[in-house]
């Protein structure tokens, strides 16, 4: 099996970690940053990073590398225009946290590319090249979009990159991915923001002085750079509205119960059951499928059952 070369566009937390992880796995890998200072820092750390995106993409076209877009959603159209100019038929994936919007942008700006969307589900409240590390994706879920019609060979390229980075592959339809992450990734950021604002709303400093681990954990992701949260959440608006409405409905029902009977049992028990179901899902069955011979529909079903693909069979 060829160890395909990797070209990473964007070297923030995710792109920078991906570059380090692919390098550590023995891949030929290079990257680009929009910031000269970041590129210099990455080179000082021993990585092949420049600010010349067009040159990096031409090199990807020449060596049939896998191009990974690890830039914010707002920058994706601009980068896709460059892809279409410099490497129009390249193998292409991304690490953006919403998938329908990126697929739409690819169809519009780089329609000849062989695109298979990806989303490594890892991150910290920190950001930037210096926050990255090769181990960021270890044991993480890495969504690889399995919509009908895409190129199974590139699907295999993306899966192999995820495995090389230590992750497990969760196949999913793009729209089902967006609904799922609205519930388990974007809503947590908004509830953390609301909680942090309520805690800091008082006139005196007593509440924050009394904040302990439940507040610390519940607001942790409110420490993420606001631009990153906004790009992620606003790019997933429709799915996020559904998740917010679900949360509002549950919170409103709880408010009513607290005011009328004083009882919170329904809320607390449902939450406890949800957390336990989550805990039980932590060690999914790691499946192996034949390379290039499993249908996209069968792959999607693996993800819907909470499973993951960890390698090729046979």
List binders of its own copies among 147-186 (CB under 8 A). 170, 172, 176-177, 179-181, 183-185
Among 37, 107, 138, 268, binds its own copies (CB under 8 A): 268
Contact status: 44 vs its own copies (CB under 8 A):
no
Contact status: 229 vs its own copies (CB under 8 A):
yes
Number of residues forming the site for its own copies (CB under 8 A): 100
Cα 286 to Cα 307: distance, rounded to the nearest angstrom? 7
Least distance from its own copies to the Cβ atom of residue 218, Å: 4
Which residues ranging from 5 to 34 are in contact with its own copies (CB under 8 A)?
none
Q: How far is CA 173 from CA 4, 233, 235, 236, in A?
A: 25, 19, 17, 15
Contact status: 200 vs its own copies (CB under 8 A):
yes
- Residue 111 vs 252, nearer CB to its own copies: 252
Least distance from its own copies to the Cβ atom of residue 28, Å: 29
Among 88, 111, 202, 292, binds its own copies (CB under 8 A): 202
CB 180: neighbour CB atoms within 10 A? 18
Least distance from its own copies to the Cβ atom of residue 258, Å: 6
Least distance from its own copies to the Cβ atom of residue 138, Å: 13
Are 19 and 42 contacting, i.e. CB atoms less than 8 angstroms apart? yes
**The two structure tokens encoding residue 67:** 């191009």
Instruction: Name 29's bridge partners.
Output: 6
Among 2, 205, 290, 314, binds its own copies (CB under 8 A): 205
CB 200: neighbour CB atoms within 10 A? 13
- Residue 148 vs 204, nearer CB to its own copies: 204
Cα 104 to Cα 237: distance, rounded to the nearest angstrom? 15
Among 44, 204, 283, 290, binds its own copies (CB under 8 A): 204
**CB-based contacts of 130, cutoff 8 Å, min separation 6:** 41
Q: Is 257 helix (H, G, I), strand (E, B) or coil?
A: helix
Among 218, 291, 296, 310, binds its own copies (CB under 8 A): 218
Beta strands per DSSP E along the chain: 6-9, 29-32, 49-50, 66-69, 91-94, 114-115, 118-120, 141-145, 168-172, 286-289, 308-312
Q: Which long-range contacts (C-beta less than 8 Å, at least 24 apart) are formed by 202-207?
A: none
Q: Which stretch binds its own copies (CB under 8 A): 54-62, 71-79, 146-154, 301-309?
A: 301-309
Which residues ranging from 112 to 131 are in contact with its own copies (CB under 8 A)?
121-124
Least distance from its own copies to the Cβ atom of residue 8, Å: 21
Among 18, 65, 141, 150, binds its own copies (CB under 8 A): 141
């Amino acid at each position: 099996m060829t160890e395909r070369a990797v070209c990473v566009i964007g070297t923030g937390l995710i792109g920078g970690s991906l570059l380090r992880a692919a390098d550590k796995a023995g891949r030929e890998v290079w990257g680009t940053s929009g910031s000269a200072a970041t590129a210099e820092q990455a080179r000082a750390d021993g990585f092949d990073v420049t600010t010349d995106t067009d040159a990096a993409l031409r090199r990807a076209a020449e060596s049939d590398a896998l191009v990974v877009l690890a830039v914010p959603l707002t920058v994706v159209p601009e980068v896709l225009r460059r892809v279409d100019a410099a490497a129009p038929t390249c193998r292409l994936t991304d690490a953006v946290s919403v998938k329908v919007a990126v697929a739409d942008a690819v169809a519009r700006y780089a329609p000849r590319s062989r695109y298979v969307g990806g989303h490594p589900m890892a991150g910290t409240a920190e950001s930037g090249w210096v926050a990255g590390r090769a181990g960021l994706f270890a044991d993480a879920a890495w969504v690889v979009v399995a919509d009908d019609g895409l190129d199974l060979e590139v699907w295999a390229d993306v899966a192999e990159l995820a495995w090389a980075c230590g992750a497990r592959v969760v196949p999913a339809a793009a729209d089902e991915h967006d609904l799922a992450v609205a519930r388990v990734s974007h809503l947590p950021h908004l509830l953390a923001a609301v909680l942090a604002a309520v805690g800091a709303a008082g006139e005196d400093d007593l509440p924050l002085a009394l904040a302990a681990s439940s507040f610390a954990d519940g607001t942790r992701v409110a420490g993420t750079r606001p631009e990153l949260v906004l790009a992620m959440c606003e790019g997933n608006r429709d799915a996020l509205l559904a998740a917010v409405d679900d949360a509002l409905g549950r919170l409103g029902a709880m408010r009513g119960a607290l005011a009328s009977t004083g009882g919170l049992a329904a809320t607390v028990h449902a939450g406890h059951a949800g957390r336990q179901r989550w805990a039980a899902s932590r060690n999914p069955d790691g499946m192996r499928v034949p390379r290039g011979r499993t249908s996209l529909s069968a792959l999607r079903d693996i993800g819907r059952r909470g499973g993951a693909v960890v390698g090729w069979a046979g």
